Amino acid sequence: MLTILGALGTIGYVIATPEVEERFTEFYIVGVEGAGVEGKPRDYPRELVVGDEGRVMVGIVNHEHETVTYQIEVRIDGVKNNEVDRIVLEHGEKWEEIVRFSLGTLGELIT
C-alpha cells in the first residue's frame, strides 16, 4: 500500500510540475558567401590587407524565454573595431546581419 501511495505521489508531482525548458542564445558567424548554404560556416575572410574591409554574416536567435538585449563588438588585437548596439529580441526571434570590419594596422595571420 505504501508503495502505491509513493508511486501516486510521484506521478502527481510529475504532472503538477511544469517541465523547465532550456534557456540559451544561439549565436553564429558564417562567411557572407556561405550564408544561406545550410548554415555551414565557410568563406570567412582569411587574409586582409590594411584598409581592406572584411565581412561576415552574424546571427542571433533568442531562446531565453524572455526579451533580451544583445550587443556585438568586433575586436582586433584587443581593440574595438566595430560595434552593433541594442539588438532587442523577443523569445524565438532571430536577428541576422552582415557585420563589417577593417584592419588599421598589420597583424598576425590567423588560420
What is the rounded average pLDDT of the residues 11-27?
Answer: 73
Q: When comparing pLDDT for 12 and 97, which is higher?
A: 97
Write down the pTM of the prediction: 0.70
More confident of the two residues 20 and 82:
82
The phi-psi region of residue 63 (left if phi > 0; otherwise alpha if psi is between -120 and 50; otherwise beta) is alpha
What element of type H or E holds 58?
strand 53-63
51-77 per-position pLDDT tens digit: 888 899 999 999 999 999 999 999 988
